[in-house]
Amino acid sequence: MTQPKSAKPKSAPKSGRRARTRSARLRRWWVVPFALGLAGLAFYVLLIEGSLGSVAGGPPPMEQIDAQSRLKLERTIEAAERAERGSQ
């Protein structure tokens, strides 16, 4: 009596599932510490970056705007106000 080719032999090892589960556990033990280390590194970089003061503090440097730029800014603000009044 012959078995069809698609049928699995009865003597197939059942350790395949265990091997996959063990492999998944080992992989998890590598991924979790790696992810925690990466998160710690990101936190450290954010902490250091914040202490260096990369963002300028204090009032905006309005007195450092040259006359030509100030004139352009005033014109832009006036045009925006006119457009707002016209749409009402």
Give pLDDT tens digits for 10-61: 555 555 555 567 777 777 778 889 999 999 999 998 888 776 665 566 666 6
Q: Are 65 and 73 in contact (CB under 8 A)?
A: yes
Report the phi/psi class of residue 57: left, alpha or beta, with left for phi > 0 and alpha for psi in -120 to 50: beta
Is the Cα dihedral 37, 43, 46, 47 positive or negative? negative
Query: How far is residue 28's CA from residue 23's CA, in Å, rounded to a whole number?
Result: 9
The model's pTM is 0.36
Query: How far is residue 65's CA from residue 59's CA, in Å, rounded to a whole number?
Result: 13
pLDDT value of position 25: 72
